[in-house]
Structure 1
Amino acid sequence: MSRAPRILCVGALTQDTIFRLEQLPRGAGKFIPAEAVQNAAGMASSAATAARRQGAVVSLWASVGDDMLGTELTAELTAEGIDCSGVRRVAGARSAIATILVDAAGERMIVPFYDPRATTPPDALPFDLSGFDAVLTDVRWPGAAALALQGAKKAGIPAILDIDVAARPILEDLLPHATHIVASEPAAAILCGEVAVEEAVSMLHARTGVFVAITAGGAGTYWRDEATGAIRHTPAPKITPVDTLAAGDVFHGSFAVGLAEGWDMERTIRFASAAAALKCLKFGGRLGAPTRTETTAMLEGQPV
């Protein structure tokens, strides 16, 4: 592709307050963090940041309240270089917030709050998708996700669904609209039950007929090769994680870039895996999303 790919990300925009502790709390008490940070985040917003840092032109369609926090979140992502003109402001609603605790091994505990008034279904898609190269949606604003995925399919561009933990009816409703499904292992278990990851990939493909991948954290990514029908495994880079928060979102944003640029699936997944691994080396959720140069260097075995 001779120009930067243009990607629309649809879904969550929250304020994350992240605390780094030696270990996650096991009961009530007061816990003093070693480090803390607060930033605009959420699945779609973190993916948008990743895609932007990988060189894409990115627009975000999200929904926030008409409070001061909504103004601050939008301004922060605009400063990242993301087009936030499509962010909806809902009168009387509160913008989403989340508190995240991260332990010394990089694992986390997340407590989010979404005001139902801010996630009411939109009336229409506020973008002409003919100028986009891919659409990526999460499951946090289902009505918008369905419209965006449908619009992407109509425009003949990848309609990528990031499936994470949510109520099963929401996941079931969104599945038919995607051309590419990338699910977390816990989300796949909601849809397929407690089966092996490879079997879950096959089950989701049998139900939808589209590309399916399941991310399994440090165990890598399992995906269906459309050319051969085989279930393949792409290992994750071996790292010692500092913070796994937003690693999946960085994977999805980088995956969307690879698809938009027309790469083959193996290259796309290796690229997304490298970007997610690099994010895990930095504390701060989406703030750790790497640049294109850093990701390419990891793939080439260079110091980053």
Structure 2
Amino acid sequence: MDTILRLDELPHAAGKYLPREAVEIAAGMASSAAAAIARLGGNVALWASAGIDSVGDRAVAELSAEGIDCAYIRRLEGARTAFSSILVDANGERIIVPFYDRRLASPSDPVPPIAAGTYAAVMTDVRWPWAAETALSAARDAGIPAILDADTAPVELLETLLPLATHIVASEPAAISVTGTTDLRECVRILSNRYDVFTSVTAGADGCYWAEGAGKPVSHVAGFKVDAVDTSLRATF
């Protein structure tokens, strides 16, 4: 669950700040991607981990109402469902403070029937490492796209998951942390040559850089000029 607080500008110092608007929604990298697929008319299932608490109840209810198959959302006794506080300014830029209960990262049973070819593609993020590793490996075994949303995470975790993906979509901070360079074209070149798969790096207002695989040229498309409302999930879509 996300609590989004809209301010005229982001805080520059300690203090109390009164928002001009506030909203609470069931959101996150995987859940927002699933909602986007559902709203575009696709059939989508979400494999996630949540606590047995009121936050989890509300999140599952809202995601189910979006048309997402939530049968594989594991509910864990004694754990707290993830939530975030997000401050958004008048330009759509944001500060995100997420909380993830480490107990939610434990292995689960059952596992969705990915290896059986039930799904056309699998998209994972880094928040539940065991599930991401399991899903990416199963997708490769099934011969379907194994897509990794490589967001900010420990480098050791990213280096575990990246070789399992057939398609890498990395945030700018994650790409820089793995490659050691701030040159985003070079980030794409290093990652695509290392793993020989489609690789892209999202760069906010600067758009996106990508290559189709090892030795392929790095392409770039600038970000579209829009009046930003909220950039919290800009890389998800």
User: Aligned partners of 2:187, 2:33: CA distance in 1, in Å?
Assistant: 24
Aligned with 1:225 (options 182, 199, 212): 212
What is the one-letter code of the residue matched to 1:75? A
Considering only aligned residues, what root-mean-square deviation do their CA atoms show, in Å?
1.5
Partner of 1:42: 28
Q: Partners in 1 of 2:20 and 2:76 — Cα distance?
A: 36
- Name the residue aligned to 1:269: none
2:128 aligned with 1:141, yes or no?
yes
AA in 2 matched with 1:185: E
2:138 equivalent in structure 1: 151
TM-score (norm 1): 0.75
C-alpha distance in structure 2 between counterparts of 1:128 and 1:97, whole Å: 27
* Counterpart contact for 1:124–1:147, Cα < 8 Å: no
Partners of 1:140 and 1:72 lie apart in 2 by 20
Q: Give the total of aligned pairs.
A: 236
Task: Report if aligned partners of 2:197, 2:212 keep a CA contact under 8 Å in 1.
Answer: no
Which residue pairs with 2:197 in the alignment? 210
Match runs of 1:117-196 below 5 Å: 117-122=103-108, 125-129=111-115, 130-196=117-183
2:49 touches 2:74 (CA, 8 Å); kept in 1?
yes
Aligned-partner Cα distance in 2 for 1:128–1:228: 31
Sequence identity (%): 53
- Counterpart contact for 2:114–2:139, Cα < 8 Å: no
| Contact 2:2/2:83, CA 8 A, preserved across alignment | yes
Higher RCO, Cα 8 Å, sep 6+: 1
Cα separation, 1, equivalents of 2:179 and 2:110: 32
Question: Is the 1:121–1:142 contact (alpha carbons within 8 Å) kept by the matching residues of 2?
Answer: no
SS in 2 for 1:246: coil
TM-score (norm 2): 0.95
Can you give the 5+ residue segments of structure 2 that lack an aligned partner in the other structure? Answer: none
The CA distance in 1 between the partners of 2:214 and 2:163, in whole Å, is 21
Task: Please state how far the C-alpha of 1:228 moved relative to its aligned partner.
Answer: 7.6
Q: 1:129-169 CA distances to partner (integer Å, 9 max, x unpaired)?
A: 41211100000001000000001000000000000111111
Q: Is the 8 A contact 1:19 1:37 kept in 2?
A: yes
The structure-2 alpha-carbon separation of the partners of 1:227 and 1:177, relative to structure 1 and needing over 3 Å to count, comes to closer
- Whether the 8 Å contact between 1:51 and 1:58 is mirrored in structure 2 is yes
1:74 matched to 2:60: yes
Structure 2 residue identity aligned to 1:24: L
**Shift, 1:122, TM fit:** 2.9
Query: Between Structure 1 and Structure 2, which shows a larger proportion of helix residues?
Result: 1
> For structure 1, which runs of at least 5 residues remain unmatched after alignment?
1-14, 252-304
Could you say which residue in structure 1 is the equivalent of 2:41? 55
* Structure 2 counterpart of 1:87, from 73, 79, 85: 73
Instruction: State the match for 1:287 in structure 2.
Output: none
